[in-house]
Amino acid sequence: MDAKDTYSKSIQEQKTIVQNDAELSRKIKQGEKRKIENGQNWKAININDAIKRFAPGIQPKVNENKVEWFNPEAQISIIADIGGGYLRIQDKNKPFKSYLGLKGKNIINFTDKNGKQHRHLQKERESLTHFKIYYRSKNVMDQHELILVPKRDFDENTDCWQSYANNGEFDDFFQWWFSLSENESLWQVYQALNDSLNAGIDHYEDAEIPANNVEKAISIAESFRNRNAECCKKEPLEKLMQAFQKAKELGQPIYFWF
């Protein structure tokens, strides 16, 4: 189990406890709110890379809404927020709370092109010391293509689903991961969806089948299953059907993140 697995497991455990713990619920919601209000300026990173660099081999501890990997030798902690899905790097050599950038350097001040030092504004400091956590490592994402069904409603004008996917934040979606070869085997199905529903599924940009077309999409995919089409591998087609059925069950659209 790597750091990301541990973090995800802690989220699930604490969100179970939160049902009977009002104070923990408040803290988790604070983290969620903080990321919603400020997270657009935070860099998204792979938590495993951060742990390898600053706290290799360290077992984390869960404390309420935080998961902490403390390196006693370097006196540095990686602290991941359960509600907000972000982490910070804390320098515990200092008698006060001091947070570092990704290179392990203090970022309170910066030097301009003339060699003069200036103090970063608070918003700037926050954007340099808060890091959103990728749902999976970017390497894994590069080798896979995703079909997503949202767990909640998204507003394309104020709460665009693509912005979450761009940052590897998939907690609000049911996900089906396809290897490149698996997805390629489904291309005739996608072409049929494009022809019948004008879905626009391709390798170049994201696509969507709206909720009111999901039943038609199921019928099209079902036709390939019924004729046992040689063009489609059985396992990827079954995964595709699972995604379509989940969208139907929830009354939600289907997103193609290729």
Per CATH, is 139-257 categorized as 3.40.1760.20? yes
How far is it, in rounded angstroms, from Cα 178 to Cα 143? 9
How far is it, in rounded angstroms, from Cα 212 to Cα 194? 15
Band the pLDDT of 39: cuts 50, 70, 90: confident
- Decide the pairing of beta strands 131-133 and 43-45: parallel
CATH 3.40.1760.20 location in the chain: 139-257
Phi then psi dihedrals of residue 110, to 5 deg:
-140, 160
Which pLDDT does position 11 carry in this prediction?
77
Helix (H) or strand (E) holding 36: helix 22-38
Which pLDDT does position 2 carry in this prediction?
75
Band the pLDDT of 29: cuts 50, 70, 90: confident
27: CB partners within 8 A, 6+ apart: 64, 65, 83
Which pLDDT does position 69 carry in this prediction?
96
**In the predicted structure, residue 38 carries a pLDDT above the cut 70:** yes
* pLDDT, tens only, 175-233: 999 888 888 889 899 999 999 998 888 766 678 999 999 999 999 999 988 776 566 78
Which pLDDT does position 108 carry in this prediction?
80
| Buried/exposed code over 218-253 (b: 16+ C-beta within 10 A; e: otherwise) | bebbeebeeeeeeebeeebbebbbebbebbbeeebb
Task: Report which of residues 184 and 252 the model is more confident about.
Answer: 252
Structure tokens at 161: 């689903």
3-state SS of the chain: helix, strand, coil percent to 5?
A: 45, 25, 35
DSSP 8-state symbol, 232:
S
Burial class for 34, CB neighbours closer than 10 Å (0-12, 13-18, 19+): middle
160: CB partners within 8 A, 6+ apart: 154
In contact, 192 and 224? CB cutoff 8 Å: yes
Q: How far apart are the first and last CA of the chain?
A: 27
* pLDDT, tens only, 107-151: 887 777 788 888 878 888 888 899 988 765 454 555 678 899 999
* pLDDT, tens only, 52-95: 999 999 999 999 999 999 999 999 999 999 888 899 999 998 88
